[in-house]
Structure 1
Amino acid sequence: MLTLKRFANPDVTRAFTNIVWLGLERLTQIGVAIVISGMLARYFGPDTFGKWQYANTLLLVLSPITWVCGAEILVPTIVNRPPEQLGTVLGSAFALRISVSALALLLTWLGIALHLFEPLVGAMLAGLAVTMLFREPFVGVINAWLQSMTFSKPQLLTSMSTAILKAACVYLLVRAAAAPARFGWLWALESAAIGAVLLLYFMRRHGGKLGWQFDKALFKHFASAGTVFWLGLICMYLFLKLDRLMLERAISFADLGRYSAAQQLNENWITLALMLAQTIAPAFVYRVQNLAQLRRNMWRLTALTALLMIAGAAVLDLLAGFIIRRVFGPDFEGAIDIFRWAVWLSVPAGIEAIGNLVVLKYQAKFVLLSKWLLALAVAFVVNLLTIERLGAYGALVGLAAGYLAAAAVNLYYIRFKLRP
């Protein structure tokens, strides 16, 4: 009866439905990403595919710059303000994000014009970088409004639909033998389409009007609030892509393409750990106030995650050859051994993701920033020492050292915060 009552609660039902849609969207994105990577790897070949992956790495390092005024600031502001102030909140957040995103895009294009990147990498990045102009200012702001209602279905449905359409368009461009530089603009078109659909949805829900307004005081608040979290996320994404940034100067683009192919599959596997953490966080961490119970939950979740990641990594290790050949083709044989070692990174990555839940629960922003700064520094030093000797395997050692450093900070914070 208690269970029935809980599910009869509209808030619980809405949250559960939201989690289901989030899971479907993530699984769709992972599947589409693997299919697209397989098509492009076979079409481009290792060398050009390495340049494509490096262009994507640069985008993923640049994109966090546009994440100013993140959801952890914007969503509570929407919830705590009267409904009639919604237009002012969203308008001020949009003004900040579009300004930062436009500046990031212009600086990226300037770097391309000044030939800071290899020519084909720059040509690919030129289109990919346009996604920054739409993702956070349009998609991010409206998605924050949807999150405030625990109703992300419109954004998730749109994202799934455009991802499938993008895969179809990639297939058509491959069949048409399109130039590699043109593919980046397809990603820009996808982000623009998602932004347009969500904008129309918002206007439909508000009588056909946008109603966004700019407030100088709120703009300044958004610019300063959440800065520490923002810097922490920048450090985190820089850490996650540091291996490819440093390998680009040490190995050929063909070898970088093989390494990136293995890592992309591995990162999709690690994403499942992050999905698990996001799914269980509200019930087992965020809503638990009793410290003893929270400690027990954390140790159990950590042990469960470690066992799950070890079991999954063992299976992927055994199937590495089959997976790489099926997805990327015979030109990527060199990625098999890299993938076999890379999948074991999911163990420290999963443990770190679970430990991070306590950091987020208590909004320990300086812990978050310090953690990823330490992980970034450790990975950088280890990469310097190992890449020259071990090549791509040295980058894996750097990632492992960074994950262990981040997990150690989580452990120290948990022992400090949850001590009896």
Structure 2
Amino acid sequence: MLRRIAHPDIAKAAANIVWLGLERLTQIVVAIAIAGLLARYFGPEVFGKWQYANTLLLVLAPITWVCGAEILVPTIVRRGESDLGAVLGSAFVLRLTVSALALAATWAGVAAGLTDPIVGAMLAALAVTMLFREPFIGVVNSWLQSLTYSKPQLVTSMMTALGKLALVYLFVRMAVTAPRFAWLWALEAAVIGVVLLIYYARRHGGRLGWRVEPALLRHFASAGAVFWVGLICMYLFLKLDRLMLERAISFADLGRYSAAQQINENWIALALMLAQTIAPAFVYRVQERAQVMRNVARLMLFAAALMIGGALVLDALGSIIITRVFGPNFADAIPIFRWCVWLSVPAGVEAIGNLVLLKYQAKFVLLTKWLLALAVAFVVNLLAIPRIGAYGALVGLAAGYCAAVAVNLYYIRLKLRP
């Protein structure tokens, strides 16, 4: 046991998980504090519009994820330090081009009046984050993930999150109009991107050394295309509940539903980040299929236990959390919150199983999985939302997650069985 703990990969992963836990705890506290400030300041209706603008952003953002981490991290690990400049430079140019086009298309849609005016003003500012998240933050973070050393990104994210909280509080005290709050998210993304670029340059002799390799650029654009479409389907599935509820309930009720989901999604994000930080050491670099199977099985059990424990605590404290954070106007969100926290269990198990698909680059399986989850959730939402409202959207999410987990387990059984 002591020899295992002393193994460098395990030691690095353990340190990474500690920083991950601190960062996730900071983000959860900050997100809850900001949500509480905005909910009380905006009121249910405007808060519903704020949440809907964020939903639209999270549906649009995956467009910028061409050549995602599932392609980039294994490529960095495989090609090594000598080709790092070409790998990161090619990924950066591709992502920056797509992000700029996505931002321009979003602004064009807002200018054309495709959304509620307040939602559009919020979205126009929030969309600027796309220009920094993937080209700058995403590229450097993929390099850090390949080293199983995410501390620089995590520390920067913690500091900027606390700074954003302070500015949100200041804006509330100054009675700033609702759309202007969105520019704080754009500022946060820009600061993180600049800090990570400076860190990378300092680790490489004071310069980036990035260059574009045409063959690699074409490879990233083509090899990542199926993964890219799959990720778009995944995030559309994750936000389908709010997209469909927006047409069935008022913005005030959507604000209450989104308040419950926002806290839950911060908790679910822990499973996703946990999977990302342990993937290189325990899945991507392991060659024996039997060992991969053992590692994945243990990680699934660990994720399930972690999510169940968290769901029990959040369920028990649901009333206190909602009323203390969002205020009495959001009391109707309490029963929704108590149900939605249990979605973290299939979400955590799915995140671990998904690592096997990424390791073996099973891009068509991944695409099929999220298309199936999206289709299942859409059908269930279509039938359940008119009958039971917001609870129907939770049933749709649960059904979609179960479909995704089933596909993961089926692929793992075929790929890794003795």
- TM-score for the superposition, normalised by structure 1: 0.91
Query: What is the one-letter code of the residue matched to 1:22?
Result: L
Q: Give the CA deviation at 1:88.
A: 3.0
Distance 1:51 1:305 in 2: 33
Greater mean deviation of Cα atoms: 341-350 or 75-84:
75-84
- Residue in structure 2 matching 1:237, options 235, 238, 259: 235
Structure 1 residues 86 and 350, CA gap change in structure 2 (3 angstroms): closer
Greater mean deviation of Cα atoms: 326-335 or 198-207:
198-207
Q: Corresponding residue for 1:193?
A: 191
Distance 1:278 1:91 in 2: 22
Q: Give the CA deviation at 1:262.
A: 0.5
User: Superposition pairs for residues 335-354 of structure 1, below 5 Å?
Assistant: 335-354=333-352
Greater mean deviation of Cα atoms: 34-43 or 267-276:
267-276
Q: Give the CA deviation at 1:283.
A: 6.7
Return 5+ residue gaps in structure 2 as ranges. Answer: none
Structure 1 residues 291 and 206, CA gap change in structure 2 (3 angstroms): closer
Query: What is the one-letter code of the residue matched to 1:99?
Result: T
1:135 pairs with 2:114: no
Is the Cα contact below 8 Å between 1:23 and 1:275 reproduced in 2?
A: no
Distance 1:124 1:6 in 2: 48
Q: Corresponding residue for 1:378?
A: 376
User: Superposition pairs for residues 143-154 of structure 1, below 5 Å?
Assistant: 143-154=141-152
Q: Give the CA deviation at 1:115.
A: 0.4
Is the Cα contact below 8 Å between 1:240 and 1:399 reproduced in 2?
A: yes
Query: What is the one-letter code of the residue matched to 1:331?
Result: N
Q: Corresponding residue for 1:409?
A: 407
Structure 1 residues 205 and 269, CA gap change in structure 2 (3 angstroms): closer
Q: What RMSD over aligned residues (CA atoms) do the two structures have, in Å?
A: 2.4
- Residue in structure 1 matching 2:52, options 51, 54, 60: 54
Q: Corresponding residue for 2:226?
A: 228
Greater mean deviation of Cα atoms: 259-268 or 316-325:
316-325
Distance 1:136 1:191 in 2: 10
Q: Corresponding residue for 1:36?
A: 34
Q: Corresponding residue for 2:245?
A: 247
Query: What is the one-letter code of the residue matched to 1:161?
Result: M
3-state SS in 2 of match to 1:68? coil
Distance 2:78 2:297 in 1: 34
Q: Corresponding residue for 1:21?
A: 19
Distance 1:279 1:132 in 2: 22
Distance 1:326 1:41 in 2: 11
- TM-score for the superposition, normalised by structure 2: 0.92
Distance 2:299 2:270 in 1: 15
Query: What is the one-letter code of the residue matched to 1:150?
Result: T
Q: Give the CA deviation at 1:302.
A: 4.4
Q: Give the CA deviation at 1:232.
A: 1.4
Return 5+ residue gaps in structure 1 as ranges. Answer: none
User: Superposition pairs for residues 82-121 of structure 1, below 5 Å?
Assistant: 83=81, 85-121=83-119
State the percentage of identical aligned residues.
Answer: 75
Is the Cα contact below 8 Å between 2:13 and 2:278 reproduced in 1?
A: no
Distance 1:66 1:166 in 2: 24
